[in-house]
Amino acid sequence: MIVANEIPLSDFTQATTIRLISTAYIDESAMLPLVDNNDDLAFLEEIEGMTSTRRGDIVPLPGGIHPDELLTEVHGFGWAYVNAAFCYTREGGNRFNGSERGAWYAAWGDNAVTTAHADVSWHLTRELDATGVYENTTAYRELLAGFTVRFHNVNGCDAGLVLDPDAETGYPAGQALALELLNAGSHGLLYPSVRRADGQCLVAFRPHVVQNIRQGNTWVLAWHGTREPEITQKF
């Protein structure tokens, strides 16, 4: 099994990495139909913010997150999206984070967008598998981010179970490794995509290393009765 202190560190500088999130979290506010004007909307958003774990001054937070780690408005556009990635977790976690602390996942390198598509498609198809009904349409927006940081890098290592494509096997192994790295002060991990051959991914363990957030293209993933979605760009 891979050992955390044997994973090499790499200087990582990338101006553009790609994370896809549902446009439901970016576009029209869910509260817009409840108000008549922007002043009323701002008032409701302030009330909603009082119970939002994306804000650094709000409790309770997930057990693995300290309020001082979270970003604020001074960090510029996208600060709330970064906080959300760390504060809102899937039950059981993901490959390199448990349910007590989230992380920022992104694709990078050549054909990063295709890698991001493959990852998001896998997760949504997995959810549809539970129902057996492959009818769904979801729009995703690219969140582009830059990094200048040192990450641990498992490319070229014998990662073993950590990169097992079966989530039941790979997730527990990956979460154990990530926790070990986090406790040792690691900023994150570079790793080969599990869902797309030759793809490259990263996971950032700490909010402050995610920089220069901006929006990119919008993609629509549509399932029409099969496990393979049709992916089109929305203009």
Q: What is the pLDDT of residues 53-109, one digit of tens each?
A: 444 444 468 889 999 999 999 999 999 999 999 999 989 999 999 999 999 999 999
The answer on pLDDT for 212 being more than 50 is yes
The answer on pLDDT for 27 being more than 70 is no
Instruction: For residues 190-216, give the mean pLDDT.
Output: 97
What is the band of 49 on the pLDDT scale with cuts at 50, 70, 90? low
Question: What's the CA gap between 140 and 34, in Å, rounded?
Answer: 25
Instruction: For residues 35-59, give the mean pLDDT.
Output: 49
Please give the pLDDT value at position 62. 85
* pLDDT > 70: percent of the chain: 85
What is the band of 38 on the pLDDT scale with cuts at 50, 70, 90? low
Please give the pLDDT value at position 26. 80
3-state SS record for the chain: CCCHHHCCEEEEEEEEEEEEEEHHHCCCCCCHHHCCCHHHHHHHHHHHHCCCCCCCCCCCCCCCCCHHHCCCHHHCCCHHHHHHHHHCCCCCCECCECCCCCCEEEEECCCHHHHHHHHHHHHHHHHHHCCCCCEEEEEEEEEEEEEEEEEEECCCCCCHHHHCCCHHHHHHHHHHHHHHHHHCCCCEEEEECCCCCCCEEEEECCHHHCEEEEEEEEEEEEEECCCCCEEEEEC
- Of 166, 167, 38, the residue nearest 46 (C-alpha): 38
Q: Is 107 left (phi over 0), alpha (psi -120 to 50) or beta?
A: beta
User: Across the chain, what does the average pLDDT equal?
Assistant: 89
173, 1 in Cβ contact below 8 A? yes
**146-183 pLDDT tens trace:** 999 999 999 999 999 999 999 999 999 999 999 999 99
The answer on pLDDT for 31 being more than 50 is no
Residue found under tokens 């901006």: 214
Please give the pLDDT value at position 103. 98
Please give the pLDDT value at position 208. 97
Question: What's the CA gap between 9 and 14, in Å, rounded?
Answer: 16
Instruction: For residues 177-193, give the mean pLDDT.
Output: 97
Please give the pLDDT value at position 32. 46
